[in-house]
Amino acid sequence: MADTPQPLTCKIGPSILNADLSNLEKACVQMMDSGADYLHLDIMDGHFVPNLTFGHPLVKCLRPKVPRAFFDLHMMVAEPEKWVNEMADAGGDQYTFHIEATNSPLALVRKIKEAGMKAGVGLKPGTPVEEVVEVVEEVDMVLVMTVEPGFGGQSFMSAMMEKVEFLRARFPSLDIEVDGGVGLSTIDACAKAGANMIVSGSAVVKADDPKAVISQLRSSVVKEL
């Protein structure tokens, strides 16, 4: 966790994977102008998950276009150790790897921090929450996937809230992120379980009024903090 723990706050991070990928600059600026606290960038390599998205060259191009945005890089990749320096050079702020993708999570966390980024660790729905406990004290955030990683538009898995509750009970000041099927119909379950970092894709990005949706998501979380 961070050297100086900060008070737990609500942070809303739209997933730009659901945006118009041919015009990401416009989408990212719109999300920040709508009240987003950060942007969630899904990096998929076709190996760890059965899908391809984009890599560090795109992140590097996007960085100067939205200099005020905090880039949370969700690394759904095999061998996440390979891309730390490239993503740091590209302008990533937080490097969130999957516990299932590495045999040396603590060494990877050190590498991420030495590169100047925050470190996050994620776990897939089928992975027991206990598998991340050994690294919780070293990372800045834990991501609980509420769908199978790889594709957008999946249905929210409410059973994953037990993992969020487990982590919140044991680590009261930990940033806990949820990602997958999170929108206005599922935000209350996330908030009550203890999640404070909310990744929302189509519910925000494809909304007629993204600002209003972000505000509603935030209200649900804040009342539970």
CA 188 to chain centre: 18
* Residue that is written with structure tokens 């949706």 in the block: 213
Active-site option among 37, 42, 45, 140: 42
Active-site option among 45, 72, 140, 179: 179
Q: Which two tokens stand for residue 178?
A: 């949820």
3-state SS of 30-73 is HHHHCCCCCEEEEEEECCCCCCECCCHHHHHHHHHHCCCCCEEE
Is 37 tagged catalytic? Answer: no
Is 179 tagged catalytic? Answer: yes
Beta sheet of 141-145, edge-to-edge order: 11-14, 197-200, 175-179, 141-145, 118-123, 94-98, 71-76, 39-44
Q: Which two tokens stand for residue 70?
A: 């905090």
- C-beta of residue 17 within 8 angstroms of C-beta of residue 53: yes
Q: Which residues are catalytic?
A: 42, 179
